[in-house]
Amino acid sequence: MLEDLGDRYHEYLARWQREVGDVAVGSFAKFGGKLVKKLSFDEFSPILVQYAEMAARYQESLDRGDTVNDLVLKVLRDQAAQLLLPPPKGIDDPGAG
């Protein structure tokens, strides 16, 4: 993942343009019922890495049949929104709408 952070950031910028419109880096907009900030590359990179790691652990937990803490689900939803991504499959957002 670290080797393609630049490509992933450009995909993120394209999602912003498509989903939200022309917004300056550092500005805020609504996405998926949440107020999110358009991130700089330096802000985006650690959030993407953490999100990818958490999403992978979440999927592994589901595959094992583990119980998942509500706090973990909230963090994943919030990080997905920051990245303008849908939350991982199986996470319903009761606050969306």
Name 22's Cβ contacts closer than 8 Å, sequence gap at least 6: none
Measure Cα distances from 35 to 22, 44, 59 in Å. Answer: 16, 16, 26
The torsion angles phi and psi of 67, rounded to 5 degrees, stand at -80, 135
Give the gyration radius of the chain's Cα atoms.
Answer: 14
> pLDDT tens, 14-36?
999 999 999 999 999 998 888 99
Average pLDDT in the chain:
86
C-alpha to C-alpha distance for 81 and 77, rounded to whole angstroms: 6
pTM for this entry: 0.73
What is the H or E stretch that residue 35 is in? strand 34-37
Top-confidence residue, 62 or 13: 13
